[in-house]
Amino acid sequence: MNAKQALILVDLQNDFLPGGALGVAGGDEIIPVVNQLMKSFDLVAATQDWHPSEHGSFAVNHPGHQVYDVIDLNGIEQVLWPTHCVQNTWGAELSKELDQSKITKTFPKGTLPAVDSYSGFYDNDHQHATGLGEWLRSQAVSELTVAGIATDYCVQFTVLDAIQDGFAVTLCLPACRGVNLDAADSDRAIERMRTAGAVIQRAYP
């Protein structure tokens, strides 16, 4: 019997698409790719960045700091972002272009103001689980394909946590886009994921 597989869609939300508060270049291009990709999976889970307005990752909540400054947030290095994916706002909604009927379950993350959560599995301090790992285990899933936004942040941390928790992970690159505050950030993230054990899928279909 083949191992059970799931597709993990990371943060396909309006704020991460062009025109959004933290719009990622080309983010809209991956939606049709993801809609096609979903057809090959029985189980699809989506993560959803879901911040309270007082979230510690927002530059506006740190007077004297600018967007993209890096600070120490309760002992963890934190990039300060534009205000994005605030709970119950349009920016936090999954894209309407996404075929949401295929999504089995959605996992919110980043809800605690004091710590960011790039990974779909754990907060950045690894103290709180989102429930995604437990749910995948309950579904007897052992192999994951990961796609979404952003290659250098939430996709990377999701892949690394998944591998650490014992899942076999394929990264579907044609269905990912990166922020690239530094132009090489996504390439570095891909190399880190590959070194950790992820299979890097460079073409789709």
List residues near ligand VGL by CB under 6 A: 11, 16, 49, 81, 149-150, 153-154
Catalytic residue selected from 109, 161, 172, 176: 109
User: Is 172 tagged catalytic?
Assistant: no
* Residue 123 touches which member of ligand VGL, Zn ion, none, C-beta under 5-8 Å by kind: none
* Residue 107 touches which member of Zn ion, ligand VGL, none, C-beta under 5-8 Å by kind: none
Q: Which is nearer to ligand VGL, 6 or 154 (CB)?
A: 154
User: Is 176 tagged catalytic?
Assistant: no
DSSP string, 10-59: E--BGGGSTTSTTPPTTGGGHHHHHHHHGGG-SEEEEEEE-B-TT-TTBG
Q: Which is nearer to ligand VGL, 98 or 154 (CB)?
A: 154
Cβ 144 to ligand VGL, closest distance in Å?
Answer: 17
Instruction: Decide: is 49 part of the binding site for Zn ion (CB under 5 A).
Output: yes
Find the farthest-apart pair of alpha carbons in the chain and give their distance in angstroms, rounded.
58
Cβ 83 to ligand VGL, closest distance in Å?
Answer: 11
Whether omega for the bond prior to residue 82 falls within 30 degrees of 0, making it cis, is no
Distance CA 50, CA 97 (A): 19
Strands (E) in the chain, as ranges, are: 4-10, 43-49, 70-73, 76-79, 105-109, 141-149, 168-177, 199-201
Catalytic residue selected from 154, 161, 172, 176: 154
- Active centre residues (catalytic): 11, 109, 154
